[in-house]
C-alpha cells in the first residue's frame, strides 16, 4: 500500500452530503489531514473494495492502517487536536457501537441529513462572514439611534420630576408583586439602583455597547449588553416606549449574540440564527399586510387608504404634503403595490438566493419610500438592517465599495490561542445556543399563528411558555395601520396668566402653527409628540400621562419645556392651562402659504388651574 506523509480521508465525491461535511472537516484539521474523493485516489489502495467507498468514508493512516465509518471520522478529527471523542470511542463502553450505528443511519439517509445540516449548522464561511459583520454593525447603528434619541428626553419622560416617573412605576410594581418575582414581571436593572442617574447610565451604557457593535468589538458581549439595557428602559418606559419598533428592536437584538458567536475565532455564523432573522422579517412584512385585511377596513379593500394616510399619519414631513396631491390612480396603484410587497414578496424568501435578493431589494425600496414620506423613528432603518441576512457575501461585495467591504470583512483576530477544553466548551455552547434558538423560533411562529388564527388555537404548552416569557419580549406580533384614521384631530395646549388671554405651546415636531413646514426628524423618536397623536384619538381620562404633562407645564418645569418648541411665557409659569381639539387637514395649495388648514372642535380636557 502506498506510503503517506499525512493521514488521508477518502470520501464519495458524488455525494453532496459528504462534500459538505468534508469541507467543514478540512477547515478544522488544516494541514494535519489530507482529503480526496475515492474517484480520484481510491485506485491507489487496491486492498479496499470499491463498494466500501460507496458506503462509508475511509481513513488511511501513515502506518498503512485503514479505518472506516465513525472510527475514520473521529481519527481524522483527532489528528487535528480534537481527540476527546476518539478517546470516548476507544474507552467508553457502548460508545463505539452507538457511534457506528448513528453513522450508518445518517449514511443511509443522506438527503435528509444534508437538509438538517444546512438548517442547523453554520453556513459556508465564505458566504456569510461579511453579511454578519454588516448586520451587526447596522444593528449597532439602530441601537445607537434608539439610545441617543431616548437619552435626550428620558429625564423629562421618565425622571423623578418628569411626566411618568420610572421610580413610581417600580414602587407600584413592587407593591403589586412583593418578593423577587417583581424582577421577572418587570425585568429592569433599575431595581438595583432606582433614580434618575440610573436612567442616564442605562442610556450611556447603551450608547457604548452600540458603538462597540459598530466597531466590531466584543460583539457577543456588546450585543447582549445593548439588548439588556434597552429591555431595562423599555420595562420602565410605559406608554412612551410602547411602539412596535421598540419590541421589534428587542426581538432583533436578542438574536444578535447568537449570530455573533464565533466572530472572534473566525467561525461562520450559525445558519439557524440567519434563518430566524429571515423569519422575523417575513413575519414583520407578511403580518403587516394580513392585519390590514383582517381589520375589515374598507379603505384597504378598495385601495383608498392613501387618500388620507399622508395627512393623518402621526408626524408627516413636508414631502407628505406633495405625496397627498398625487392623482387618485397613483394612490391606488401605490396601495396595490404595497399589498404585493407585504403579502407576496415575503414568500420569495423561500425561493433560494435569487428570491432572497429580490425580496431584499423590494423591502428596501419600500422602506425608503416610507421614510421619504413619514417619520417613524428608527423603524425604517431597523427594517433595512433586517434585510441584510437575505444577502450573502458575494451580493454585498457587489453593493459595497471595495474599501468598505475590505474594512468590514473578517473578524479582527486577536491571536489568542484556544484554552484547553475550548472545543468541548464550544460544542456545549453551540448546543445550548441551538436550543435557545429553537425556543425563539417557536415563540416567533406562535405569535404569528396567534395573530392569524387566535392565540386559543395554539397548543397549551406553547401558550403557557409565551405567557411566562412575555416580560422579556423575546418575540412579538406586528402589523402597522390595521385601521386607517380618516380625521386628524390635534391637541393644542394653551396657557394663560389671567384666564382671558391664551397663548399656545408649540411642540417641536407635531403639527401646531399651520404655517410651519412639517419637518423630517427620523431616526430620532420624539416620543411626547407621538403620544400626543395617540391621545387625540381617545379621551383625556384614558391618558393620565397627559394630565401629568400639563401639571408640569403649570409648574413651569424647565425640563418639560426643553421638549417643546418655545416658551410663550418666557420662563413664567401660567396660572391656567387648557387643551383644545382642532381638526387638521393639509392645505389645498395654490396661493395659500400655510401647510395646514384647521378648524376648532372645542375642549379636549377641562381647564386646569395652578393653586
Q: Is residue 477 part of a domain?
A: no
The mean pLDDT of 251-269, rounded to a whole number, is 88
pLDDT of residue 266: 75
Q: Is residue 126 part of a domain?
A: no
Instruction: Evaluate if residue 498 carries a pLDDT over 60.
Output: yes
CB atoms within 10 A of CB 42: 20
Question: Could you list the residue range(s) of the whole structural domain that residue 325 is in?
Answer: 131-413+422-472
CA-based nearest residue to 224, from 248, 255, 202, 200: 255
Q: Is residue 481 part of a domain?
A: no
Q: How far is the C-alpha of 480 from the C-alpha of 288, rounded, in Å? A: 6
Identify the band that residue 345 occupies on the pLDDT scale cut at 50, 70 and 90.
very high
Question: What is the helix (H) or strand (E) element at residue 603, kind and residue range?
Answer: strand 596-609
260, HSE (Cβ side, Cα atoms, 13 Å): 26
pLDDT of residue 590: 61
Verify that 76 and 168 share a domain, yes or no: no
Last residue of a domain, one of 75, 92, 120: 120
Verify that 20 and 114 share a domain, yes or no: yes
pLDDT of residue 430: 66
- Collect all residues with Cβ–Cβ distance below 8 Å to 269 and sequence separation of at least 6: 122, 123, 128, 129, 131, 132, 259, 260, 261, 262, 263
Verify that 347 and 394 share a domain, yes or no: yes
Per-residue pLDDT reduced to its tens digit, 132-190: 999 999 999 999 999 999 999 999 999 998 999 999 999 999 888 888 888 899 999 99
Q: How far is the C-alpha of 556 from the C-alpha of 542, rounded, in Å? A: 24
The mean pLDDT of 217-234, rounded to a whole number, is 96
Instruction: Evaluate if residue 290 carries a pLDDT over 80.
Output: yes
Instruction: Evaluate if residue 475 carries a pLDDT over 70.
Output: yes
Q: How far is the C-alpha of 404 from the C-alpha of 397, rounded, in Å? A: 9
Verify that 136 and 109 share a domain, yes or no: no
Question: What is the helix (H) or strand (E) element at residue 576, kind and residue range?
Answer: strand 576-586
Verify that 88 and 185 share a domain, yes or no: no
Cα 315–Cα 296–Cα 447 angle in degrees, nearest 5: 75
Identify the band that residue 246 occupies on the pLDDT scale cut at 50, 70 and 90.
very high
Instruction: Evaluate if residue 2 carries a pLDDT over 70.
Output: no
Q: How many domains does the chain have?
A: 3
Residues 140-175 as b or e (16 or more Cβ within 10 Å = b): bbbbbbbbebbbebbbbbbbeebbbbbbebbeebbe
The mean pLDDT of 126-135, rounded to a whole number, is 86
pLDDT of residue 251: 96
CB atoms within 10 A of CB 374: 21
pLDDT of residue 406: 78
Q: Which residues pair with 490 in a beta bridge?
A: 582
Q: Is residue 563 part of a domain?
A: yes
Identify the band that residue 413 occupies on the pLDDT scale cut at 50, 70 and 90.
very low
String of DSSP letters for 212-248: HHHHTSSHHHHHHHHHHHHHHHHHHHGGGG-SHHHHH
pLDDT of residue 167: 93
DSSP 3-state of 122: coil
Amino acid at each position: 500500500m502506498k506510503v503517506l506523509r499525512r493521514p488521508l480521508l477518502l470520501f464519495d465525491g458524488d455525494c453532496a452530503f459528504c462534500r459538505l461535511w468534508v469541507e467543514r472537516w478540512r477547515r478544522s484539521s488544516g494541514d494535519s489531514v489530507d482529503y480526496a474523493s475515492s474517484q480520484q485516489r481510491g485506485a491507489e489502495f487496491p486492498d479496499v473494495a470499491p463498494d466500501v467507498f460507496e458506503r462509508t468514508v475511509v481513513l488511511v493512516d501513515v502506518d498503512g492502517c485503514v479505518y472506516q465509518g465513525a472510527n475514520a471520522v473521529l481519527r481524522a478529527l483527532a489528528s487535528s487536536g480534537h481527540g476527546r471523542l476518539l478517546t470516548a470511542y476507544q474507552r467508553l463502553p457502548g460508545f463505539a457501537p452507538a457511534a457506528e450505528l448513528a453513522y450508518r443511519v445518517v449514511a443511509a439517509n443522506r438527503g435528509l441529513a444534508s437538509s438538517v445540516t444546512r438548517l442547523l449548522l453554520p453556513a459556508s464561511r465564505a458566504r456569510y462572514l461579511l453579511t454578519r459583520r454588516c448586520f451587526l454593525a447596522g444593528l449597532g447603528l439602530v441601537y445607537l439611534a434608539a439610545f441617543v434619541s431616548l437619552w435626550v428626553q428620558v429625564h423629562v419622560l421618565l425622571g423623578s420630576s418628569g411626566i411618568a416617573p420610572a421610580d413610581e412605576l417600580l414602587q407600584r410594581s413592587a407593591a403589586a408583586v412583593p418578593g423577587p418575582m417583581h424582577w421577572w414581571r418587570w425585568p429592569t436593572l433599575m431595581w438595583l439602583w432606582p433614580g434618575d442617574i440610573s436612567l442616564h447610565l442605562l442610556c450611556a451604557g447603551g450608547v457604548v455597547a452600540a458603538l462597540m457593535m459598530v466597531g466590531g468589538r466584543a460583539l457577543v458581549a456588546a450585543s447582549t449588553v445593548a439588548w439588556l439595557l434597552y429591555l431595562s428602559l423599555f420595562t420602565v418606559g410605559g406608554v412612551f416606549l410602547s411602539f412596535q419598533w421598540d419590541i421589534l428592536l428587542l426581538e432583533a437584538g436578542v438574536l444578535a449574540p447568537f449570530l455573533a458567536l464565533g466572530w472572534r475565532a473566525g467561525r461562520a455564523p450559525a445558519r439557524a440564527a440567519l434563518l430566524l432573522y429571515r423569519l422575523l422579517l417575513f413575519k414583520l412584512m407578511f403580518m403587516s399586510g394580513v392585519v390590514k385585511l383582517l381589520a375589515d377596513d374598507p379603505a384597504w379593500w378598495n385601495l383608498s387608504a392613501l387618500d388620507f394616510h399622508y395627512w393623518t399619519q402621526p408626524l408627516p414631513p413636508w414631502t407628505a404634503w406633495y405625496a397627498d396631491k398625487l392623482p387618485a390612480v397613483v394612490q391606488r396603484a401605490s396601495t396595490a403595490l404595497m399589498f404585493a410587497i407585504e403579502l407576496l414578496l415575503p414568500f420569495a424568501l423561500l425561493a433560494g438566493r435569487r428570491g432572497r435578493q429580490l425580496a431584499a431589494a423590494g423591502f428596501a425600496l419600500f422602506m425608503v419610500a416610507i421614510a421619504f414620506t413619514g417619520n417613524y423613528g428608527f423603524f425604517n432603518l431597523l427594517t433595512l438592517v433586517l434585510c441584510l441576512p437575505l444577502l450573502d457575501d458575494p451580493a454585498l461585495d457587489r453593493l459595497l465599495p471595495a474599501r468598505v467591504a475590505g474594512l468590514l470583512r473578517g473578524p479582527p483576530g486577536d491571536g489568542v490561542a484556544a484554552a484547553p477544553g475550548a472545543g468541548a466548551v464550544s460544542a456545549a455552547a453551540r448546543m445550548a445556543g441551538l436550543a435557545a434558538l429553537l425556543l425563539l423560533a417557536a415563540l416567533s411562529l406562535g405569535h404569528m399563528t396567534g395573530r392569524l388564527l387566535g392565540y386559543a388555537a395554539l397548543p397549551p404548552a406553547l401558550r403557557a411558555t409565551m405567557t411566562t416569557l412575555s416580560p422579556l419580549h423575546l418575540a412579538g406580533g406586528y402589523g402597522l395601520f390595521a385601521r386607517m384614521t380618516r380625521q386628524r384631530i390635534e391637541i393644542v395646549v394653551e396657557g394663560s396668566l389671567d384666564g382671558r388671554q391664551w397663548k399656545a405651546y408649540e411642540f417641536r415636531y407635531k403639527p401646531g402653527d399651520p404655517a410651519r413646514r412639517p419637518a423630517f426628524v427620523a431616526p430620532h423618536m420624539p416620543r411626547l409628540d407621538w403620544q400626543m397623536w395617540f391621545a387625540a384619538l381617545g379621551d383625556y381620562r384614558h391618558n393620565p400621562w397627559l394630565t401629568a404633562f400639563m401639571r408640569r407645564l403649570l409648574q413651569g418645569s424647565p425640563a418639560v419645556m426643553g421638549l417643546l418648541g418655545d416658551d410663550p411665557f418666557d420662563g413664567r409659569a401660567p396660572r391656567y392651562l387648557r387643551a383644545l381639539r382642532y381638526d387638521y387637514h393639509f392645505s389645498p395649495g395654490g396661493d395659500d402659504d400655510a401647510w395646514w388648514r384647521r378648524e376648532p372642535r372645542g375642549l379636549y380636557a377641562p381647564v386646569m388651574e395652578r393653586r
